[in-house]
Amino acid sequence: MQHGRRTALVTGGARGIGLEVCRQLADRGLRVLVAARKREAAEEACRTIGAAALPLAMDVTSAKSVGEAVGEARALAGGIDVLVNNAGVSLDGQLRPPYVDEDLLRATLDTNLTGAWRVVEAVVPGMVESGYGRVVNVTSSYGSLSLMDSGRHPAYRISKTALNALTRMLAAELAGTGVLVNAADPGWTRSGMGGPSAPRGPEEGADTPVWLATLPEGDGTTGGLFAGRRPLPW
């Protein structure tokens, strides 16, 4: 069946890897909803992307903010076909297991796990209804259980392990609906989080998320974890 222009929503889309994901999706002909906590930041990002980009204010730690932003997105663009859960924080200090900073753990999970889940809850039922969707959870190799060789960055890493689990569960629940759900590790990338010494630029960091966000019609790739467009061990 023919479809009109696809619409993508990218959380944390006004800077870093998210901004580059927005640019690349717009280059591929999608309409892009650029979400940032501050509307002005989203507006500024949209100016640099062009007419395909529309700004949204969304804080993923607030169900109210997510609900209002997704309502506004639907009013602006109709349905949402592609969701890139890119918003993330890395807050860890020096504490490692057996020591725990509970407030920091909660704050990290609230953005990196529950935040993504809130947006999924607001957006994915519409995808199922339309019979098409691409969900990309931006994770990290740091969350891979097979790479847990130290207790460094415990809250961040556990939040990404949990996001990976959500990816698997959601993919299983949505099997056969036309909605594909995958996790993408951008690799160590120059950004606010990655810092200036990272080996990858944002173009390379955005490549795997964008590839998964634009899997063609009929592609069955779902429930996977990928880095550099290749499977990564869970």
Ligand X SMILES: NC(=O)c1ccc[n+]([C@@H]2O[C@H](COP(=O)([O-])OP(=O)(O)OC[C@H]3O[C@@H](n4cnc5c(N)ncnc54)[C@H](OP(=O)(O)O)[C@@H]3O)[C@@H](O)[C@H]2O)c1
Point out the residues that are catalytic. 156
Residue 92, token pair as written in the block: 């860890």
Asked if 59 interacts with ligand X (CB under 6 A), we say: yes
Binder to ligand X among 191, 208, 214, 222 (CB under 6 A)? 191
Are 167 and 223 in contact, with CB atoms under 8 Å apart?
yes
Binding to ligand X in span 74-93, by CB under 6 A: 86-89
Task: Render 128-196 in DSSP notation, one character per residue.
Answer: HHHT-EEEEEE--GGG-GGG--S-SSHHHHHHHHHHHHHHHHHHHHTTTTTEEEEEEE--SBSBTTTBT
For residue 217, the minimal CB distance to ligand X (Å) is: 27
For residue 166, the minimal CB distance to ligand X (Å) is: 13
Number of Cβ within 10 Å of residue 176's Cβ equals 6
Asked if 12 interacts with ligand X (CB under 6 A), we say: yes
Residue 14, token pair as written in the block: 């006004």
Binder to ligand X among 36, 82, 123, 170 (CB under 6 A)? 36
- If the CB atoms of residues 132 and 200 are measured against ligand X, the closer one turns out to be 200
Contact footprint for ligand X (CB under 6 A) = 11-12, 14-18, 36-38, 41, 58-61, 86-89, 111, 115, 138, 140, 185-186, 188-189, 191-194, 198
